[in-house]
Amino acid sequence: MTIAKLSRAVLMGGMAWGMIATAAFAADITFWTWRQEDKAAYEKFFSAFTAENPDINVKFEALPDTTYPTMVSTGLAAGKAADVIHTHAYGWLDQFVRSGYLEPLDEATVPSLANFTPDAIEALSFREDHKVYSVPFATMTLGLFINEDVFEKAGLTPPTTWEEFKTVGDALKSKGIIPLANGMGTSWFNEMFVSVFAGPFLGPEFAAELSTGATTYKDPRYAAALSKLLELRDYMPPNFAGVDYETAGQLFLSGRAAMLAGGSFDIANYRKLNPSLKMDFIAPPAASAGDVPHASKFYDGGYAVNAASPNKEAALRLVNWMGTTEFGNMFSNTLGNISPINGVEITDPILHHVAELNKTAVPHLNVVYFRFGKPTGSEILQANITKMMSGDMTPEQVGVEMTNGIATWFAPFQGK
Amino acid sequence: MKADWRSKPFHLSRRSLWIAFLLAPAAVIMMTFVVWPLVSALQLSFFRFEGLKPGDFVWFENFYKVLFQSPFRDATYNAFWHNIVVFFALMVLENGVALLIAYALLKELPGHRLHQVIVFLPVVLSAVIVGFLWKLLLHPLFGVVNAALGLFGIMGPAWLGSEATALGSIVFANVWHWIGFPALVLLAGMQRISREVLEAARLDGAGDWTILTRIVWPLIAPSVTIVTVLTFIGSFNWFELPLLMADMEGSPGRSTDVLALYFYRTAFGSVTSGIQDFGQGSALAVLMFLFVGAVTFIALKFLRSRELEI
Amino acid sequence: MANIASTTTTHQATGPVSYKGEGFKNGAIQALLWLNAVIMLYPLFVMVMSSFKSNAEIFSSPLALPQSLNFANLEKVWSETNFLQYLGNSLLVTSASVALILVVGTMAAYAIARYEFRFSGLWLMFFLSGMTVPLKLAIIPLFLQLNALNLLNTYAGLILVYTAMGIPSAVFIMTGFLRALPKELEESARIDGANEFVIMWQVMLPLARPAMVIVAIQNAVPIWNDFFFPLILITSDSLKTLPQGLTVFMGEFVTDWGVLFTGLTLAALPITLLYILLSRQFIAGLTQGAIK
């Protein structure tokens, strides 16, 4: 299309002009994110950055999360994307790196990368060249919310093992309280629900073997862990199949339910919705007493630099700053999420708890390992887990479906 | 006018310029925003996408994947089957009931105008309003529907949360939303039947059922054709209601998955589970387009010939 | 219509036996129609009623009437969302699209209907073929196209897409109507020395007003209600249309049902009021394409 070419030429001309203009004056760079709700917090962070780097101004732009990947990819393709881009980790990052749109980072250009564990760096690296493309920003921990008021009133203590969970659950039920608020009405959360309760039964060894293909989801250990979820049905709300994650949150916050499988990302939100509630975030029930607690964990994403940015130097300085303890402290204590930066001090008691859980957490399996090709492990699990919970599918069948689906793009699973 | 342009070539060119001026804006807009995108969709479907950029030209690989390679194939047929179910369910529940409503309105009993306005009211509302409203009404714990059932001591099902009832619930919302449309289209068809024919039948002692099935039904064949074809196209483009009432994944357990959702999810990725693939997405779009186009064409031929026979 | 109704009455009066039966049957039919009316209206009644309730009230007694006329939800929607902005955007996009459809659609239809020229039949076919195309399926290249033209996330992009979708049916309806207009008017104006533009603008188009109303309503309602194209083509909150804004809103206030019902009520209000005022034109306009 000639019109397209023409407009592209005009656009490029405009950009070239922009480059000249910005070279002479202070650099104005743009930051894109899907976190619309964090606008105020980020604007505060960026003014702190500008106070230290008066030659760089950062503009915050939030895009809707439903179309975020589309907007970022077309923005990058058209040369109109922001200089610094908020990315998810793992397979999500993979597709942008593969197209050559993001700038590889190293400790020469971004010294603060030294502040991260190898685990965090790996989550934001491209698997084929082992280079890191995004400065990690948060870990997400999946575990069990406890409504302490409800437990206190019922004269019970939160469970630590599976057997305790069932005894406590029965006791709560006899008092007319829903033990576990969750339903199966929100498919993205169902996957997290599986990780919360199956995680302690699978443990880190299974995750390690699975990631290399030494074992698959057809492993009897996986089926055994999934079959534990079936026992939970007695403790979930009536009509749990249709209870979505928001309703579950309401049941939990209003005290109609005592526990809620959830993510650390909701701590701040729940606190805002019910400031007077006494709650805690604990590890999901362990297989047997004395086991190491195993919450599940994944890296949510990071801050990447647009490879075509005309202000690459300024953008690199910003992402470097976003890897420092100074930023990490601000981030964790303002947004109530765990920054993976070493040396960050967490003041909030519940977040402190989460940080402790992180030390022995297991990976959130599909997100960490199986979102690199189509169909992703996530979409297969989400499609089948409701069938299993309604009794239309066995745990073994779910494992077979997942293994066969992932095998279409993950060679180590092929023929197993 | 014909003689005019043959005899006056100068006049012709001014006149053609005038005609070109009249046609050009519409033609340019159509070319840019309809024809070109459609042609491009076909083109994109032949490429393998490396991340987000078109990579190798791979002929029919994307088509092969979505039609024949597990697990994409399974998702395709699952969604396709749901489109078929939706079509037949709407034919019976929406158009069938609409036919009865139309016949009742044809009698022009007192208040029939009011009833026309009422039955058509939801048609003017956005699918967004209808979808969210019914999602709230059908909520398993706090919804009005289950509260009403509770008055009779019935514990209502999870509706949108259960595989057994989810698709049916969305179909019901669709019927509520759209039933006024076929009802009034069929009514318009019935009003074109000459009154003498109906009166004559009535005088011969024919009951309403006989009149409806033997006289009205054959004579409104053109309206039935249109309604059927529109329902078919609508069923295969079904997107808004399942997206808003269930989600992009066709939850629970793909039981509400339809082709348009599957296409959207494949092409644009879903935030929580999938990655983007414009190539496979375009292949799905091309297949849907061909299927709907072919069936509509054949159906129109077939139904039109039926009309002629009658 | 009136004389038809009267013949029916006469017929009923002359046949006393069937009169009794008819009366009973008509009563049954009336009852069924009223049942249908309740099914159509009750959900909307619940929606409006719940917008006056607090969250606790909705959850504890969903079927009861609100305890009082409580406008707290309305205030919240008013002060915490961009409802007015969304409403304004929808008005702008819908009216601009409909105006553009009418202008370019009528121009093209006028050329096809009132002049004989080579391939005029093919032109008509070209426009009409657009009626069968589900443009939703071409959303990927359409997206890339708008991106290349710098029209993503602009009013203009959305308006042009809606216009492209509306042209086919506009050309169809206008061509049919304009063709039926008598030639004599046009000829006599031409003899009086009027040029082609004057003939079109001052002689022919004023006669085509009823068809234009049909075209306007037929396009305005689906455009006003559309959610799919803004979902993909518009990302700035300040440009969102009402249905799209409503989805944002429903996601934000997901735990506050009183506010949700208020939002739904407000979103449904403008078009419902307009429909009640102009129901005859709405019904005619929206069923037009399927009746001919």
Chain B neighbours among C 203-232 (CB < 8 Å)?
221, 224-228, 232
Among A141-155, A358-372, B208-222, C132-146, which range has the highest average pLDDT? A141-155
Do A253 and A133 contact (CB within 8 A), yes or no? Answer: no
Half-sphere exposure for C7 (CA within 13 Å, toward CB): 11
Contacts of A226 (CB under 8 A, 6+ apart): A194, A198, A388, A395, A398, A399
> How far lies A127's CA from each of A123, A306, B271, C289, in Å?
9, 19, 21, 55
Question: B245 to chain A, minimum CA–CA distance in Å?
Answer: 11
The structure tokens 């009249």 sit at B22
Contacts of B182 (CB under 8 A, 6+ apart): B94, B95, B98, B99, B102, B227, B231
| Residue B1 identity (one-letter amino acid) | M
> What pLDDT score was predicted for residue A22?
43
- Between residues C225 and C237, the one the model is more confident about: C225
Do A406 and A380 contact (CB within 8 A), yes or no? Answer: yes
Q: How much is the average pLDDT of B123-137?
A: 94
3-state secondary structure of C34: helix
Q: Which residues of A touch B275 (CB under 8 A)?
A: 91-92, 94-95, 371-374, 376
3-state secondary structure of B210: helix
3-state secondary structure of B237: coil
> Do A74 and C144 count as a contact with CB atoms less than 8 A apart?
yes
Q: Measure CA A302 to chain center.
A: 11
Instruction: Specify whether the backbone of C39 is left (phi greater than 0), alpha (psi in -120 to 50) or beta.
Output: alpha
Strands (E), A231-375: 257-263, 279-282, 296-305, 362-363
Do B255 and C152 contact (CB within 8 A), yes or no? Answer: no
> What pLDDT score was predicted for residue B306?
73
Contacts of C171 (CB under 8 A, 6+ apart): B26, C105, C108, C109, C112, C124, C127, C128
Do C159 and C219 contact (CB within 8 A), yes or no? Answer: no
**Residue A92: is its pLDDT beyond 90?**
no
Task: Using pLDDT thresholds of 50, 70 and 90, give the confidence band for residue C3.
Answer: very low
- Output the furthest CA–CA distance in chain B (Å, rounded): 87
Do C134 and B292 contact (CB within 8 A), yes or no? Answer: yes
Give the percent of chain A with pLDDT over 90.
71
> What pLDDT score was predicted for residue B272?
62
pLDDT tens digits, A364-395: 998 899 988 888 999 899 989 999 999 999 99
Task: Using pLDDT thresholds of 50, 70 and 90, give the confidence band for residue C4.
Answer: very low
> What pLDDT score was predicted for residue A71?
77
> What pLDDT score was predicted for residue A252?
95
**Residue A17: is its pLDDT beyond 50?**
no
Cβ atoms within 10 Å of C231's Cβ, excluding its own: 23
Chain C neighbours among B 59-118 (CB < 8 Å)?
100-101, 104-105, 107-112, 114-118
Task: Using pLDDT thresholds of 50, 70 and 90, give the confidence band for residue A10.
Answer: very low
CATH number of B63-309: 1.10.3720.10
Q: Measure CA B197 to chain center.
A: 34
pLDDT tens digits, C199-208: 999 999 999 9
Measuring CA to CA, which residue among B98, B113, B221 is closest to residue C5?
B113
Do B139 and A244 contact (CB within 8 A), yes or no? Answer: no
Q: Exposure string (b/e) for C131-158, b if CB count within 10 Å is 16 or more?
A: eebbbbbbbbbbbbbbbbbbbbbbbebb
> What pLDDT score was predicted for residue C62?
86
Contacts of B103 (CB under 8 A, 6+ apart): B190, B208, B212, B216
Q: Which residues of A touch C143 (CB under 8 A)?
A: 70, 74
Question: A75 to chain B, minimum CA–CA distance in Å?
Answer: 11
Q: Which residues of B touch A185 (CB under 8 A)?
A: 140, 158, 160-161, 251-252
CATH superfamily ID and name for A2-140+299-358: Periplasmic binding protein-like II (3.40.190.10)
| Residue B224 identity (one-letter amino acid) | V
Identify the bridge partners of residue A102 per DSSP, sorted by sequence position: A306
Which subunits sit against A, judged by 3+ Cβ pairs under 8 A? B, C
| Residue A99 identity (one-letter amino acid) | S
Query: DSSP letter at A285?
Result: P
Task: Using pLDDT thresholds of 50, 70 and 90, give the confidence band for residue A21.
Answer: very low
> What pLDDT score was predicted for residue C291?
73
Identify the bridge partners of residue A400 per DSSP, sorted by sequence position: none
Identify the bridge partners of residue A263 per DSSP, sorted by sequence position: A142
Question: Average pLDDT over chain C, rounded to whole?
Answer: 86
> What pLDDT score was predicted for residue B299?
87
> How far lies A379's CA from each of A405, B257, B266, in Å?
10, 13, 11
Q: Which residues of A touch C149 (CB under 8 A)?
A: 3-4, 7
> Do C107 and B263 count as a contact with CB atoms less than 8 A apart?
no
Give the percent of chain B with pLDDT over 70.
93
Nearest chain B residue (CA) to A238: B141
Q: Would you say the CATH fold of A141-297+362-413 matches that of A2-140+299-358? A: yes
Residue ranges of alpha helices (H) inside chain B are: 2-7, 9-30, 36-44, 61-68, 72-90, 97-106, 112-120, 127-137, 144-151, 166-178, 180-191, 195-203, 208-210, 217-219, 221-236, 240-245, 259-268, 278-309
Q: Measure CA A65 to chain center.
A: 14
3-state secondary structure of B91: helix
Q: How much is the average pLDDT of A384-408?
A: 94
Task: Specify the pTM.
Answer: 0.86
Provide φ and ψ at A33, rounded to 5°.
-145, 160
Question: C151 to chain B, minimum CA–CA distance in Å?
Answer: 12
Question: A90 to chain B, minimum CA–CA distance in Å?
Answer: 11
Domains of chain C by start residue, with CATH = 81-252 (1.10.3720.10)
pLDDT tens digits, C253-285: 888 889 999 999 999 999 999 999 999 999 998
CB proximity C191 to B under 8 Å: no
| Residue A366 identity (one-letter amino acid) | N
Element (H, E) at C283: helix C279-291
In chain B, where does the domain assigned CATH 1.10.3720.10 lie? Answer: 63-309
**Residue C126: is its pLDDT beyond 80?**
yes
3-state secondary structure of A231: helix
Contacts of C198 (CB under 8 A, 6+ apart): C189
Q: Which residues of C touch A70 (CB under 8 A)?
A: 143, 232
> Do A67 and C143 count as a contact with CB atoms less than 8 A apart?
no
Beta strand A362-363 with A296-305 is parallel
pLDDT tens digits, C206-233: 999 999 999 999 999 999 999 889 988 8
What kind of fold does domain A141-297+362-413 have according to CATH?
D-Maltodextrin-Binding Protein; domain 2 (3.40.190)
Q: Length of chain B, please?
A: 310
> What pLDDT score was predicted for residue C104?
97
Do C119 and C272 contact (CB within 8 A), yes or no? Answer: no
> How far lies B161's CA from each of B80, B157, B164, in Å?
21, 8, 9
- How far apart (Å, rounded) are the C-alpha atoms in residues A369 and C147? 33
Beta strand B53-57 with A279-282 is unpaired
The structure tokens 């449309």 sit at B181
Question: B176 to chain A, minimum CA–CA distance in Å?
Answer: 22
The structure tokens 């934000």 sit at C252
> What pLDDT score was predicted for residue A177?
96
pLDDT tens digits, B58-80: 999 999 999 998 888 999 999 99
**Residue B2: is its pLDDT beyond 60?**
no
Q: Which of C148, C235, C254 sits opposite A246 (nearest CB)?
A: C254
pLDDT tens digits, A47-64: 999 999 999 999 998 887
Q: How much is the average pLDDT of A212-223?
A: 95
3-state secondary structure of A57: strand
Complex ipTM: 0.87
> Do A187 and B247 count as a contact with CB atoms less than 8 A apart?
yes
Give the percent of chain A with pLDDT over 70.
94
Both tokens of A209, joined, read 């073997």
3-state secondary structure of C68: coil
Among A34-43, B77-86, C242-251, which range has the highest average pLDDT? B77-86
Question: B92 to chain C, minimum CA–CA distance in Å?
Answer: 16
Nearest chain C residue (CA) to A247: C255
**Residue B122: is its pLDDT beyond 60?**
yes
Task: Using pLDDT thresholds of 50, 70 and 90, give the confidence band for residue C53.
Answer: very high
pLDDT tens digits, A292-349: 999 999 999 999 999 999 999 999 999 999 999 999 999 998 888 899 999 898 888 8
**Residue B8: is its pLDDT beyond 90?**
no
Strands (E), A238-371: 257-263, 279-282, 296-305, 362-363
> What pLDDT score was predicted for residue A40?
87
- How far apart (Å, rounded) are the C-alpha atoms in residues A27 and A53? 10
> What pLDDT score was predicted for residue B305?
80
Q: Which of B26, B41, B268 sits opposite C141 (nearest CB)?
A: B41
Cβ atoms within 10 Å of B57's Cβ, excluding its own: 10
pLDDT tens digits, A202-215: 999 999 999 999 99
- How far apart (Å, rounded) are the C-alpha atoms in residues A242 and B135? 11
- How far apart (Å, rounded) are the C-alpha atoms in residues C165 and C139? 13
- How far apart (Å, rounded) are the C-alpha atoms in residues B256 and B246? 7
CB proximity C145 to A under 8 Å: yes
> Do C46 and B137 count as a contact with CB atoms less than 8 A apart?
yes
Provide φ and ψ at C276, rounded to 5°.
-65, -40
> What pLDDT score was predicted for residue A248?
94
